[in-house]
Chain A
Amino acid sequence: MSKFDHILYGREGERYLLLGNEAIARGCIEGGVDVVTAYPGTPSSEIADTLSQLASKGGFYMEYSTNEKVAVEVAGGAAIAGARAVTTMKHVGVNVAADTLATLAYVGIRGAFVVVSADDPNAWSSQNEQDNRLYAPLFSIPCIEPSDPQEAKDFTLYAFELSEKLELPVMLRTTTRISHTRGPVVFGPIKERRAKGFVRDRARFVMIPAHARTRHKVLLQKLEEAQQIAENAPINKVHITDSKVCIVTSGVSYGYVADAIKQLGEDIAILKLGFIYPPPVQLIWDFIKRFEEVIVIEELEPYLERIVKQVIAEHQDRIVVHGKNLLPRCGELSIPTLLKNIAHKLGKKVEESKQLLPIKVPKRPPVLCPGCPHRASALVLKRVIGDAVATTDIGCYALQVLPPLELGDVLVCMGASIGIACGIAVATGQRVAAVIGDSTYFHAGLPGTVNAVYNKHNIMIVILDNGTTAMTGHQPHPGTGIRGLGDRGVRVLLEDVVRGCGVRNVKVVDPYNLKEAEKAVRSLWERDEVTCVIFRRRCVLLEREKPRTIYRIDQEKCTKCMSCIRLLGCPAIQLVDGSVVIRRELCAGCGVCAQVCPSKAIVKT
């Protein structure tokens, strides 16, 4: 029994409280999915995590691939051979997969292929808030967008059917508030599996220039077909009233619109698009033409707004379109934002909210967990490299940047730490440390490493190997040797990989042993060639269930110098009534604080 069993075994008509991502997982199951691939990334991770738990029981294949490009290749390949496949990733993952996706649209698929892009307006857990709806026209693939957990499931199913019909990849675009909001979802029936098999067709599947030119034309024909389907798609919803102003929206924005309008006590005409590329231009025109003004409500880019303006430009210029002139182009929407910015257009006044002023309290940014090995490795690194530049990468260890550790000077995207470190080393003539996590290293660290060795860059690569993909929810990766199906694959050792890339000096150290680690790192730092240190210690969250010795502070010996707090910032160390104490229930027993206390006041319990 896993806590996800109901998603596989739940029957038609039953209703469950599901996270949007779990609803998408159920949609895949109802759609008769054969192959699931993913690289984890917030806010997409739970789709793949759920399917990983259910794959063996459900009789479908699942893998965590090394990166999104590989994930699209594996799933796309399966779909070319007739399977129904899905790949899930976060928005920036599509950047990694873009090369493959752009041409996969040309060759198309024979089964079905749904690419889930989970965007992150407000950058809750991302390095940017790019709007992946813009990728759909670039790749020429259909894009659909659900607006609540129920639709997340239903539209996934629809995406599979659409993909199968058009023989094209289809993008299902969600945002954080769709992926990470729970709501009731009513289940439907589960489809039969398709027959699979590869059928040779070089003119279609081998994209030499001559074939590509032909396939581009085919792709455009398919888009026209998709356009016709979009015009009558049941996933678009029209709500007509006799209001003067109407609203065009889609996805999560619809939820805010619906509740904000309710709050204003108005009944406004709304066109809610589920099928957003190719846009149903006739449907849009038939809807908006009876109104004087259109307000387009969407988060981030004015994607729908441009389409509406274009539709109007093609017909006349009587109707005024509002969109990003009223609404923000960054971050998320909210009901208060809508009320403040559009109520006047609907002839309504909103009362100034009589909210309290916020009380001033200390900030609480996210922190590394108590006992996190990244805390110890940051301390060791700082001791060795001092003020030298260190680049860092995507993962929990990005929190090393915050006080009190303050390690990490540049962070851009997955795997970029190594290449950027090389660039800084070239420009400054100084040795640079490139900090990168284990999963991130497999994802995109290898090409950078080869490049550094080949071009003789003066960097030290620091791999923080905590044996998991921690930040996204502890998914396995090649270094763990565990597969997405939960069984054993082949464990790929990081040190072998790094040596294989040509790095001659590689050392594996335990960050919990500060002295030993420091000695080893120093020997690697004091060279002028590419060297690599691997800090190996499992993520504390994976060790939670194991028995542990926790630490306490001997109040007789403690001089209240605050070194432990100032150097480490472990959240288990607290001040209670003026005394420095360790909170038992939080301490993970790493023993690192005991090694930094100058008075030897921290002891085992």
Chain B
Amino acid sequence: MSAVRNIGLCGVGGQGILFLGQLLANAFMRRGLDVRVAEIHGMAQRGGSVLVELRYGTRVHAPASHGDYDILVALEYIEGLRQLHKLKRDGVLILNLDVIRPLAALLGEDVPALSQIYPILKQRVGKLAIGNFTKTATRVASPRATNVFVAGVLLSLGILPISVEDVEGALRVVSPPRFLEVNLRALHAGLAREEVEVR
């Protein structure tokens, strides 16, 4: 593989997006691939829109791709829509339907409904995995494990050059030991695509 592949990971500050980036990056490294994870820290991280860019390939130089995603993973619905235009044509979109409304939306601004954007998705997105991942993760593990559940969903699509063992191994490295159990449960529920629709 010579081309560098770009993954956008987005959501709301506090959802564990940095963790998700580290999890996947560690898994890629286990396969001997080069990786870069561009993170956002400090002020920009507090409860606002968070976007982490992960790049992998045989050799990666630039820290961030600034869009051009082969895969976009959204841990929250509005954030997914916000970053959607950065997904390549026929790219893969993993979209959590759980909505966390920012103040502007609570005070009346519109959030486009799925039915409204569905035509765009159908036309632009190669593969789409949707569901209320937060709900499912809460049921099978914990709301905090939504990020790992989503990693499972992503892996289940068979588009990444990494195996379940790679991700499990990476999880043992990045997960605090007391959450490992819960995270593994979330990972496997994601792999089994519990309550996830793929089209």
Residues of B contacting A494 in the complex (Cβ-Cβ under 8 angstroms)? none
Bound-complex Cα distance A144 to B65 (A): 25
Let me know if B103 is at the binding interface, CB within 8 A. Answer: yes
* Residue interface bits A28-61, CB-to-B below 8 A is 1, else 0: 0000000000000011011000000000000000
CB pair B103–A17 under 8 Å, yes or no, is: no
Residues of B contacting A262 in the complex (Cβ-Cβ under 8 angstroms)? 4, 61
Bound-complex Cα distance A404 to B107 (A): 10
Let me know if B100 is at the binding interface, CB within 8 A. Answer: yes
Residues of B contacting A403 in the complex (Cβ-Cβ under 8 angstroms)? 103
CB pair B61–A254 under 8 Å, yes or no, is: yes
Residues of A contacting B44 in the complex (Cβ-Cβ under 8 angstroms)? 124-125, 366
Bound-complex Cα distance A3 to B176 (A): 8
Bound-complex Cα distance A355 to B44 (A): 26
Q: Within A354-370, which residues are at the interface with B (CB < 8 Å)?
A: 354-369
Question: B112 CB to closest chain A CB, in angstroms?
Answer: 6
Let me know if B35 is at the binding interface, CB within 8 A. Answer: yes
Contact of B81 among A124, A361, A363 (CB under 8 A): A361
Bound-complex Cα distance A260 to B104 (A): 38
CB pair B39–A182 under 8 Å, yes or no, is: yes
Residue among A359, A361, A573 facing the most chain B CB atoms (10 A cut-off): A361
Let me know if B78 is at the binding interface, CB within 8 A. Answer: yes
Let me know if B40 is at the binding interface, CB within 8 A. Answer: yes
Contact of A181 among B14, B39, B86, B103 (CB under 8 A): B39
Q: Within B31-70, which residues are at the interface with A (CB < 8 Å)?
A: 34-49, 60-68
Bound-complex Cα distance A256 to B42 (A): 24
CB pair A256–B62 under 8 Å, yes or no, is: yes
Q: Is the interface of B mostly helix, strand, loop or mixed?
A: mixed
CB pair A259–B62 under 8 Å, yes or no, is: yes
CB pair B106–A575 under 8 Å, yes or no, is: yes
Residues of B contacting A399 in the complex (Cβ-Cβ under 8 angstroms)? 43, 46
Interface bin, chain B: 35 or more
Let me know if A183 is at the binding interface, CB within 8 A. Answer: yes
Bound-complex Cα distance A459 to B144 (A): 44
CB pair A45–B62 under 8 Å, yes or no, is: no
CB pair A148–B63 under 8 Å, yes or no, is: yes
CB pair A356–B124 under 8 Å, yes or no, is: yes
Bound-complex Cα distance A326 to B38 (A): 25
Interface bin, chain A: 35 or more
Bound-complex Cα distance A336 to B6 (A): 14
Contact of B42 among A124, A184, A360, A363 (CB under 8 A): A124
Contact of B100 among A125, A363, A571 (CB under 8 A): A571
Question: B132 CB to closest chain A CB, in angstroms?
Answer: 12
CB pair B39–A366 under 8 Å, yes or no, is: no
Contact of A366 among B34, B47, B101, B107 (CB under 8 A): B47
CB pair A252–B107 under 8 Å, yes or no, is: no
Residues of B contacting A181 in the complex (Cβ-Cβ under 8 angstroms)? 36-39, 63-64
Residue among B42, B67, B68 facing the most chain A CB atoms (10 A cut-off): B42
Let me know if B12 is at the binding interface, CB within 8 A. Answer: yes
CB pair A336–B60 under 8 Å, yes or no, is: no
Residues of A contacting B176 in the complex (Cβ-Cβ under 8 angstroms)? 3
Let me know if A334 is at the binding interface, CB within 8 A. Answer: yes
* Residue interface bits A557-572, CB-to-B below 8 A is 1, else 0: 0000010011001010
CB pair B37–A125 under 8 Å, yes or no, is: no
Asked if A17 meets B78 with Cβ closer than 8 Å, knowing A180-B38, A366-B47, the reply is: no
Let me know if B84 is at the binding interface, CB within 8 A. Answer: yes
Question: A558 CB to closest chain B CB, in angstroms?
Answer: 14
CB pair B36–A358 under 8 Å, yes or no, is: no
CB pair B103–A184 under 8 Å, yes or no, is: no
* Residue interface bits B61-93, CB-to-A below 8 A is 1, else 0: 111111110000000001101101111010000
Q: Within A152-184, which residues are at the interface with B (CB < 8 Å)?
A: 177-178, 180-184
CB pair B64–A367 under 8 Å, yes or no, is: no
Q: Within B138-190, which residues are at the interface with A (CB < 8 Å)?
A: 138, 143-144, 176
Let me know if A335 is at the binding interface, CB within 8 A. Answer: yes
Residues of A contacting B86 in the complex (Cβ-Cβ under 8 angstroms)? 355
User: A398: nearest residue on chain B (CB-CB)?
Assistant: B43
CB pair A180–B41 under 8 Å, yes or no, is: yes
Question: A287 CB to closest chain B CB, in angstroms?
Answer: 20
Asked if A355 meets B41 with Cβ closer than 8 Å, knowing A259-B62, A367-B48, A574-B100, the reply is: no
* Residue interface bits A329-365, CB-to-B below 8 A is 1, else 0: 0000011110000000000000000111111111111
Contact of A182 among B22, B48, B100 (CB under 8 A): B22
Asked if A359 meets B85 with Cβ closer than 8 Å, knowing A183-B60, A259-B62, A366-B47, the reply is: yes
Question: A380 CB to closest chain B CB, in angstroms?
Answer: 20
Asked if A183 meets B34 with Cβ closer than 8 Å, knowing A42-B42, A355-B67, the reply is: yes
Let me know if B1 is at the binding interface, CB within 8 A. Answer: no
CB pair B102–A336 under 8 Å, yes or no, is: no
Question: B76 CB to closest chain A CB, in angstroms?
Answer: 9
Let me know if A585 is at the binding interface, CB within 8 A. Answer: yes
Residues of A contacting B138 in the complex (Cβ-Cβ under 8 angstroms)? 585
Bound-complex Cα distance A257 to B63 (A): 11
Question: B120 CB to closest chain A CB, in angstroms?
Answer: 7
User: A358: nearest residue on chain B (CB-CB)?
Assistant: B85
Q: Can you pick out 9 interface pairs between chain A and chain B where the beta carbons lie within 8 Å of each other?
A: A42-B41, A124-B40, A336-B66, A336-B67, A355-B85, A360-B112, A366-B47, A565-B103, A571-B100
The 7 nearest A-B residue pairs measured at CB: A42-B42, A125-B42, A366-B48, A258-B61, A334-B66, A181-B63, A182-B37
User: Which B residues are within 8 Å of any A CB, using their own CB?
Assistant: 4, 12-14, 21-22, 25-26, 29, 34-49, 60-68, 78-79, 81-82, 84-87, 89, 100-107, 109-112, 117, 120, 124, 138, 143-144, 176
Given contact pairs A257-B61, A366-B48, A573-B106, a sample of 12 additional A-B residue pairs in the complex whose CB atoms are under 8 Å apart = A181-B39, A183-B60, A255-B63, A258-B61, A355-B67, A358-B82, A362-B104, A364-B102, A365-B102, A367-B46, A396-B43, A571-B47
